Amino acid sequence: MRKSLKLIRYLILGGIFLVPFIPLIVPGSLFFPFIAGKNFFFRILVEILLGLWLVLAIYNNRYKPHRSWILISMIAFVFVMALSSFFGENLYRSLWSNYERMEGLITHLHLLAYFFILVDVLRTEKLWKRFFNVSLGVSAIIGVYGALQLVGKLAIHQGNVRLDATLGNASYLAIYMVFHIFIALFYFARERQWYKWFYIPLIALQSLVLYHTATRGAILGLLAGVALAVAIIAFLSKRRRVKIFAVSAIAFMVLSSGGFLLAKNSSFVKSSPVLSRFASISIKETTTQSRFVIWKMSWEGFKEKPILGWGPENYNLVFDKYYEPILYKQETWFDRAHNVFFDRLTTNGILGLFAYLAMFASAFYYLLFKKGRSGFGVYDSAILSGLLAAYLFHNLFVFDNITSFLLFFSVLGYVHFRSMPAETEEELPAPVPVPQNGDDYKKPAFAAIIAISTVFIIYTLNVPAILASRSLISALQNVSVGNVEGALGGFKQSISYRSFGSGEAREQLANFAMRVLSSPKVGAGLKNKVFNYAVSEMKRQVEQSPDDIRYLVFLGSLYNKGGEYDLAIETLKKAIKLSPKKQHIYFELGTSYLNKKEYEKGAEAMKTAFELEPSYGDARKIYAIALIYDGKSDLAEKLLKEKYGTSVIADARLVNAYNAAGEPEKIARILEKFIEKNPNNLQYRVSLAAAYSQTGERKKAIEQLQKAIELDPKFKKQGEYYIKEIRAGRKP
């Protein structure tokens, strides 16, 4: 038994040392692979480690973490999250989240379990040093990946110039590098051996990658963290030279910042994709303004539910209810405030925010006020305090993910470890001797129960969702190749697992169904089959999340596409009650009325959307289009001229509207605009010829057809037929 327990002990250690490798996991077979793969691996790993740890705890009561303010604040935070989940708006979503985030209560329970195991197993400085050095090694691998993206050897997943490596998001990669820059600085300052100099090129690589993520919050957070660290050194250090150096460094940072502000309009800054992002920071910038609007909406949500909030992962309900029309410039759907503090305030209430901040406060307490007891030197306290400050600053503008959570909890674990009495042994506690008389049967029985429970938990919490994700990927692959039956089967399989991924599968199913309904290649029978199944599943999703307008809008759009306009109107009106200022819903409602040929009601819906925010250019166009359908072309043209100076705008929707209104001369003017922009487009030429034919401009119609024949000789036979008909006085 002693050997078995020793093996379990080393298995736990091995599992802990796998955690730093989680950022490398990107399984292409899962939906949202950059998020889901890492989270599923972490959850399963923690569940296994927890089972093994509990078995050890049965045989040795020394396997329990010491108490600290960090541990207490962490337990308090998860406890508040649990209360918030059960008293919030959508318990299911609060528990499970979705594939894109995977940050519900389930994840935070796993993070708490990870912290318990981590601080109870890594009991010596040597183990912690090895753990963080492994993490630094992984950061080097990710750094090289980012460098290869920078030189064009590997693709950037977000499709722009901002590096994302195996994190799949520039912001996620940025904060990952910030953590490791400080960790490398920490060990460079502590190490006395020659190999400490290896940390310098590592920091240079991490800084290079961080810079080219162009993530302003993280980079400014790094600078703020470094400034705080240097200030702490200047204040606490007893060496005069060190104080002078620290003060000089702060002065240099201030002067450099001032120099950048003076040079922000220079060609050098403007030509740099990264520096230009920093130079563009201002109160008037679109992103900045939208952040202020979103934070204002978050505050309104907090005031409605101030104590425990709306529940984890329910920020989308706040966003929709208090939506401000000026946000048309941003995404339609937000599930985060892009500020962790407002996220906590709205989803977990004031108690959740205090509990979250308490984790930072407790760490600063040990780093700055109890550093003598914990053995932290001036540099130790300064660098780790700078790290936490950088992370706090970064969280003012973005949100967390599994990799930042793991690093944050690991750093807190280390501070917790240092706050405890030092262990004299270099290994984990040795297991107590197992009784030899055979009377102690309870411990093996408990161990067996733990093993069975672990297997059950691993399956229940992970396997259905993983299988559903794989089936969803299979369905989308079939969609991409036009295999309708295969795609439909994949969606059915994914939803059949009844996992937290069903909501996303149903969204994708609705999009697929709308594509099928628009396809001339799919037969009527198959279209009905897909439509009916998609509607039934979206209705189930609406029943599960009745206050989530996203699903109502999907269902309404699906009804519109399937010709069920009355049902679409009924559904969309429900969505408007929940989110009365979101223009997108009015667009869809107006479309329902236009499809029913109730043009006056359609125009009224579009007018409402336009008047919510008159600066919204597309809303103005859509309202004008509805007015044309309603027979009010003069008013529509006046509306367009107010914004664009002309009513002749190259927009296919205007062509369709004028076609329905029977105004071919206006169609001709718009198509002329299209051809000005794209003179080699065959379809534009043919359409313009048709418009000229309708207006009696036969010569112009023939000229356009002749040019179309020149563009594509394959069109000659058909084009000459049209020309012949036009010359004969007929309208082909």
Cα–Cα distance for residue pair 106/457, rounded to 1 Å: 12
Using alpha carbons only, give the angle 149, 140, 186 rounded to the nearest 5 degrees.
135
369 lies in some domain: no
Task: Calculate mean pLDDT across residues 311-336.
Answer: 91
Q: Are 104 and 93 in contact (CB under 8 A)?
A: yes
Q: What percent of the chain has pLDDT over 70?
A: 96
Q: Which two tokens stand for residue 74?
A: 């962490």
Of 647, 674, 701, which residue sits at a domain end? Answer: 674
Output the pLDDT for position 506.
Answer: 96
Same domain flag for 415 and 483 = no
Q: Is position 226 within any domain? A: yes
- Looking at the structure, tell me whether residues 116 and 260 fall in a common domain: yes
In this predicted structure, the answer to whether residue 505 has a pLDDT above a threshold of 70 is: yes
Do 388 and 534 share a domain, yes or no? no
Residue 520 lies in a domain: yes
Q: Residue 427's pLDDT is what?
A: 47
The pTM of the full predicted model, rounded to 2 decimals, is 0.90
Average pLDDT over residues 279-307: 86
Residues 289/615, Cβ–Cβ less than 8 Å: no
Task: Specify whether 55 is located in the same domain as 107.
Answer: yes
Tell me the pLDDT band of 428, cut-offs 50, 70 and 90: very low
The mean pLDDT of 284-299, rounded to a whole number, is 86
Residue 434 has pLDDT above 70, yes or no: no
Nearest to 270 by CA among 283, 279, 259: 279
Sign, CA torsion 76/80/86/91: negative
407 and 463 together in one domain: no
Residues 412 and 529 grouped into a single domain: no
Q: Closest by alpha carbon to 533, among 570, 571, 488? A: 488
In a domain, 412, yes or no: yes
Bin 214: left if φ > 0, else alpha if -120 < ψ < 50, else beta: left
Burial class (CB in 10 A: 0-12, 13-18, 19+), 543: exposed
Between the alpha carbon of residue 433 and those of residues 50, 62, 179, 430, the distances in Å are 22, 13, 42, 9
Region 223-249: mean pLDDT is 86
Q: What is the dihedral of CA 235, 236, 241, 246, to 10 degrees?
A: -50
Q: From the DSSP assignment, how many helices (H) and strands (E) are in the chain?
A: 33, 0
What share of the chain has pLDDT > 90, as a percent? 67
With respect to residue 609, please indicate whether it lies within any of the assigned structural domains. Answer: yes
Q: Does residue 184 lie within any of the structural domains?
A: yes
- How high does pLDDT run on average in the chain? 90
List Cβ neighbours of 212 (8 Å cut-off, separation of 6 or more).
146, 150, 161, 162, 163, 274
Residue of higher predicted confidence among 682 and 411: 411
Whether residue 225 sits in one domain with residue 118: yes
List pLDDT tens digits, range 584-593.
999 999 999 9
Residue 354 included in any domain: no
Q: What is the predicted pLDDT for the residue at 440?
A: 64
The answer to whether 96 and 104 are in contact (CB under 8 A) is yes
Domain tally, the chain: 2
Are 411 and 477 found together in one domain?
A: no
Residue 510, pLDDT above cutoff 90 = yes
pLDDT in tens, 66-90: 889 999 999 999 999 999 999 999 9
430 falls in which pLDDT band (50, 70, 90)? low
Answer whether residue 299 is part of any domain.
no
Average pLDDT over residues 686-690: 89
How many other CB atoms sit within 10 Å of the CB of residue 678? 10
Angle among Cα 560, 97, 503 to the nearest 5 degrees reads 25
Same domain, 408 and 550: no
Q: CATH number of the domain at 582, please.
A: 1.25.40.10
Is 423 or 486 the better-scoring residue by pLDDT? Answer: 486
- Encoding tokens for residue 201? 């090129």
Q: Are residues 387 and 503 in the same domain?
A: no
Quick: pLDDT tens for 622-673. 999 999 999 999 999 999 999 989 988 988 999 999 988 889 899 999 998 9
pLDDT of 425 over the 90 cut: no
408 and 505 co-located in one domain: no
Note down the domain range covering 137.
2-286+380-394+402-419
What sign has the CA pseudo-torsion 118, 119, 120, 125?
A: positive
Residue 40 shares a structural domain with residue 124: yes
The band of 423, judged by pLDDT with boundaries at 50, 70 and 90, is: low
In eight-state DSSP terms, residue 714 is: G
| Lowest-confidence pick of 79-83, 203-207, 446-450, 577-581 | 446-450
